[in-house]
Structure 1
C-alpha cells in the first residue's frame, strides 16, 4: 500500500479519472490489475490515491500506444512489484519487435522492387504449422487467407498436406504485414494480385508509405512512454527513500 506520512495531496478515484478522460471504474480496474500500486483506504473503505498513483497512470497511458495493452500492463506490474529488470525486458522485446517489423517492411520493399511473376511450384517447401509459427499466427488464419485467395499453397501428392513454396511464403508474409497495418482482406486482395502479376509498385506505394508512418508513430510513442516511465521510476525511488 502506498504510504503517506507527510500528508501530501490525496486524490479520489474521480480525480485520476477526470484528468485522463477515464471512468472511475477504469481506474479501479487498473489498480486491481496491478497497473497502479495499491491505494490507501479511508476509515470508511474509500480509495484514496497519491501523486505517485497519478504518475503511474500517466506512465501506463503513455506506454499503451507504443507497446500495446498487454505489454504496457506487464511493464507496470513489474515496476510496481520492484522487478525493474523484468520491466526493461518487456520494453526491450517491444523494441525488438519494432525492429523486426522495420526489417520485414524493408524486405517487402526490396522484394517488390524486382518482383517477377511467381515461378511454378517446385518440390519442397514449408508446411502450414511451421509457417504459422514463423509468422506468429494460427494455422487457421493461413487457411482463411487461402480461402480468400490471398495465399496459394499446393498439396503434397503423397500426404495431401498443404505445402507453401517460396512464392506462397512471400504472399503470406505480405498479407501478414498488411493485416498488421490494419488493412482488410478485401483491400489486400488486389495488392496480392498485382504482386503476382509483377505489375510494379504503384498500387503498393500508399500501403508502404502507411507502414512507414505507423512504424515511426510507434517509435515516437515508445519514446514518450519511456519518458513517463522514467518519471514514475524516479518517484518510486524517492518514495522508497522517504518511507
Structure 2
C-alpha cells in the first residue's frame, strides 16, 4: 500500500473525505474492504490517505458491479497486504469491464430486435408468421420451452390456445410480445418492468407505443451501463494508487538531477 508522509487521519477525517459515515468506515474496515488501520497505544484508529482512496475505489466498484461483488473483490485483495498486487487488481477490474461490455452488447442487440419488430409493424417486412408452436417459438427466440411457460404464467406472451393435448399455439400478437419480452429479458430487465411494456402493447393501437417504451427502457439501460463504466474507471485509478508501491525515499539533502 502506498505510503504518505502526511499526518495520520482519524476515523472522522476518513469519513469526511470519503463521504461515508463513521460507522460505515468501521464496518467496511471490519469486512476487509479497506486495509486495517494502525492503532495507537490508547487503542485509537490511525488511518492514511490511502484508506480514503480505498473507500473511493469501493464506491466506484459498488456502482459498477454491485456492493456484494465490490466487497468480495477488495476483501480478497486486502486479505494479505503482502500479496495484493497491481496485476491482481488489474485482472479483477478487467473482469468487470468485460461484464459491462457484454451487458452493453446485449442491450444493443435488444434495440436492434425492437427496430426489426417496429419495421414489421410498419409493414416494411413480412411480419410474424400466423402461428407457431411452443417448440418453434422457443427455437426462434433462443430460449427454452420452460422459459415460455414461465412467461405465460406471468401473463407475458400468452399462447392463442392450448389444445386438449396441452400443445400451445402462439398467434402473431403473442409471437411479437414474446420477441419483445426476450429482448428486454436478455438485457437484464425484471418481470415487473417487462410486464408494464406488455400491458402497453395490449392497449388498443398500443403496439407502436409499447415498442417505443421498450426502446426508452433500453436507452436508460445503456445510460446506466455508461455511468457504471465511468465509475469503474475511477475505481481502477483509486485502487492503483492504493496498491502501487511508493517511490523510494531520497536521502536527506539529496539533489534532484536535472539531466
TM-score, length-normalised on structure 2? Answer: 0.66
Is the contact made by 1:31 and 1:38 (CA closer than 8 Å) also made in structure 2? yes
Aligned CA distance change for structure 1 residues 69 and 222 (closer, same or farther; 3 Å): same
Structure 1 stretches of 5 or more lacking a match? none
Which residue of structure 1 lines up, in the alignment, with residue 179 of structure 2?
170
What is the total number of aligned residue pairs between the two structures? 229
Match of 2:37 among 36, 39, 51: 39
Which residue of structure 1 lines up, in the alignment, with residue 108 of structure 2?
102
Aligned CA distance change for structure 1 residues 189 and 205 (closer, same or farther; 3 Å): closer
Which residue of structure 1 lines up, in the alignment, with residue 132 of structure 2?
121
Aligned 1:141-156 pairs, distance under 5 A: 143=150, 145-152=151-158
1:180-237 per-position Cα deviation (integer Å, ceiling 9, x unaligned): 289646623323426xx88542343244134213312421431243134224303421
Which residue of structure 1 lines up, in the alignment, with residue 239 of structure 2?
232
Partners of 1:157 and 1:31 in 2: CA distance: 62
Is the contact made by 1:41 and 1:47 (CA closer than 8 Å) also made in structure 2? yes
Is the contact made by 2:9 and 2:48 (CA closer than 8 Å) also made in structure 1? yes
SS of the equivalent of 1:124 reads helix
Aligned 1:65-214 pairs, distance under 5 A: 65-80=63-78, 81-82=84-85, 83-84=88-89, 85-115=91-121, 116=127, 119-122=130-133, 124-125=135-136, 126=138, 131=143, 143=150, 145-152=151-158, 167=175, 169-174=178-183, 176=185, 180=189, 184=193, 187-193=196-202, 200-214=207-221
Is the contact made by 2:148 and 2:157 (CA closer than 8 Å) also made in structure 1? no
Structure 2 stretches of 5 or more lacking a match? 79-83, 122-126, 250-259
Partners of 1:42 and 1:164 in 2: CA distance: 72
TM-score, length-normalised on structure 1? Answer: 0.69
1:60-108 per-position Cα deviation (integer Å, ceiling 9, x unaligned): 2123333322343344345443322234223322322222222223323
Aligned CA distance change for structure 1 residues 108 and 185 (closer, same or farther; 3 Å): closer
Which of structures 1 and 2 has the bigger CA Rg? 2
Could you list the structure 1 runs, at least 4 aligned residues long, displaced by more than 6 angstroms after superposition: 139-142, 154-158, 161-166
Is the contact made by 2:2 and 2:245 (CA closer than 8 Å) also made in structure 1? no
1:82-138 per-position Cα deviation (integer Å, ceiling 9, x unaligned): 3222342233223222222222233233333324466323262449xx947x9xxxx
Q: How large is the Cα RMSD of the aligned pairs?
A: 4.1
Give how far 1:9 is off.
2.9
Partners of 1:100 and 1:240 in 2: CA distance: 43
